[in-house]
Amino acid sequence: MSVLNPTDPREDQASEPSTFGDILSQFEQEHKADAPTGEAVPGTVVSVTPEAVVVDIGRKMDGVLDPAPFLLSDGNFSVKPGDVLQVTVSGRNEEGYYQLSMLKVKRPTDWTGFEQAFADKAIIAGKVTEVVKGGLRVDIGVRAFMPASRSGAKDPAEMDKLVGQEIRCRITKLDTAAEDVVVDRRSILEEESAAAKAKAFESLSEGAVVHGTVRTVTDYGAFVDLGGVDGLLHIADMSWNRVGKASDVVSVGDSVEVKILKIDPASRKISLGMKQLQPDPWTLATSNLKVGDKVTGKVVRLADFGAFVEVAPGVDGLIHLSSLAWGKRVRKPSDVVKVGEVVQAAVLDIKPAEKRISLSLKEALGDPWDEVPKRLQVGMILPEVTVTNLAKFGAFVDLGDGVEGMIHIADITAERRLDHPKDVIAVGQKVRVKVLEVDRDKRRIRLGMKQLEPTAMDKFIADHKEGEVLSGLVVSVEGYNARVEISEGITAHCRLPKPVEAPKESRLDRPKVDLAAMTAMLSTRWKAGPPESGVEAPAKLRRGEVKQFKIIKMDAERQSVEVELV
């Protein structure tokens, strides 16, 4: 390869020898004198081509560098003419130009130098020449073998990329007799990485804002390279908003700005944050909200004790289970709200220091009990309500707007005594009820079902009419009132007529009393016993007698029947 004109205009023309022999001798002597190997010298880039990077090192001849390390992915080079590089002279190539290296390490020139480098575990320079079975062939002045496991390459593709590159390595085996040399690159990379991490770690401080590159993304966060040392950006510190997956925020290779939250010198762990570089939404939210305000937000999470609602980006409030519905017994939040649903809630309490906001769904809807006395009155019949829950003492029914009423077990049926409401009704069943009691202060509504069941009296009244004559059994007589059984289980009231009193006689018109007859009459009555209460015959009734009676009045509301003796 010819990269320069053999005639160098920078040579001193005044000292040019006159004969060819003199010229050759002088050239050899000069180049032998100014070509020390292993010397680090500054050089200026003269030209850059795909074949070589030509560098002026201040000698009679220029030096050349391998262009591969400077080649970028877009086909351009990372150096340009005029750039100053620190290079090491490693020898001459076949054309006589200085062979340069960017590695600032010595190159042993003989076996004595190799033995010394092996003993000192010194770092030497080498050039990877080819991939061989089990590793790489490296030229360090002699042929050396580098095992694949000690190359520092992660896979065969990386090993292929090392071919043609100059590397730093360390002799790990040296057999001068057999000329068997083994070198190691991985240990040097690990030492340099550890040193770089230590230096980078020492340069960091808590609270500092730094730039880094996302190296790995996991379920719980991302590891960010801060220039030789990694820090953990936890998913909880990525954004004030709720983050489902770390990959939703960052990707491998992303350049990010982060704040150092904590440094643990013992474990050398670094905690990072991104959201800390943004204003705390809790500060904004709590300064703008007050108790009693109504807010609209999306249900983001459900727990056993309630539902969390996002009232602002990064700010969640809790609706406790007890604040989800009026009157309704809520066993789990999903009975009322679903994740993703947008709801309106009232602010019950704000604790900025604890970052807690208590919300109420039912307060935002208004108290339905305020309207209960207007729409439900005692005596009202509700033709169709749904049973929502059963307890041993009764059944609960939905009266609308989050209001429930209770049917006590004793008010379910009059036909028989119940052990449990489930013996008669079931959850989800539609029932007909009557309002028995409304207590706004105690939030209690008592209902009844048996009060709407047809009674024996209802059936009797439906089957008979006033004026009808029927037989009846006298069951009791008290003064001028009697109770008469006119049908099975049906008793009627019968008012007996009072006897007509005779006109009072004057003393002058009164006949003379026959004392003997009066004595006989009193004696007879004494033997017969005291007279029964009631009226004298023929209107007199006795318990157990069956007489004919006429229905004179029937009242379904009062559940009563009145009769008179025929």
pLDDT band at 518 (very low <50, low <70, confident <90, very high): low
Position 1 pLDDT exceeds 60 = no
Half-sphere exposure for 109 (CA within 13 Å, toward CB)? 7
Contact 445, 437 (CB under 8 A): yes
pLDDT in tens, 461-486: 989 999 999 999 999 999 889 999 99
| Neighbouring residues of 230: CB distance < 8 A, sequence distance ≥ 6 | 215, 223, 224, 270
Check residues 308 and 229 and name the one with the higher pLDDT.
308
Judge contact between 171 and 182, C-beta under 8 A. Answer: yes
Instruction: Quickly list DSSP for 242-261.
Output: --S-GGGT--TT-EEEEEEE
What does the pLDDT read at residue 526? Answer: 46
Q: Note the pLDDT of residue 514.
A: 57
The pLDDT value recorded for residue 440 is 83
The yes-or-no verdict on residue 431 having pLDDT over 50 is: yes
> Is the pLDDT confidence value at 388 over 70?
yes
Residue percentage of the chain with pLDDT more than 70: 84
What is the largest distance, in Å, between two alpha-carbon atoms of the chain?
206
Residue 53: strand pairing partners: 48, 65
Section 264-279 average pLDDT: 88
pTM: 0.42
Q: Of the segments 29-33, 38-42, 250-254, which one has the largest average pLDDT value? A: 250-254
SS3 for 462-527, per residue? HHCCCCCEEEEEEEEEECCEEEEEEECCEEEEEECCCCCCCCCCCCCCCCCCCHHHHHHHHHHHHH
Structural domains in the chain, CATH included, are: 13-101 (2.40.50.140), 111-190 (2.40.50.140), 204-277 (2.40.50.140), 281-365 (2.40.50.140), 368-452 (2.40.50.140)
Question: Torsion angle, CA of 466/472/474/478, rounded to 10 degrees?
Answer: 10
CA separation (Å) from 341 to 15, 232, 313, 334, 382?
A: 94, 34, 16, 11, 33
Q: Which of 514, 478, 517, 515 is nearest to 494 (CA)?
A: 478
pLDDT band at 501 (very low <50, low <70, confident <90, very high): low
Q: For 71-81, b where at least 16 C-beta lie within 10 A, e where not — what string? A: eeeeeebebee
Of the spans 51-65, 74-88, 207-221, which averages the highest pLDDT? Answer: 207-221
When comparing pLDDT for 331 and 517, which is higher? 331
The full DSSP string for 176-235 is TTTTEEEEESHHHHHHHHHHHHHHHHHH--TT-EEEEEEEEE-SSEEEEESSSSEEEEEG
What is the mean pLDDT of the segment spanning 122-132? 90
pLDDT tens per residue across span 144-200: 999 999 999 989 999 998 998 888 899 999 988 888 999 999 998 888 888 877 887
Element housing 458 (H / E): helix 456-463
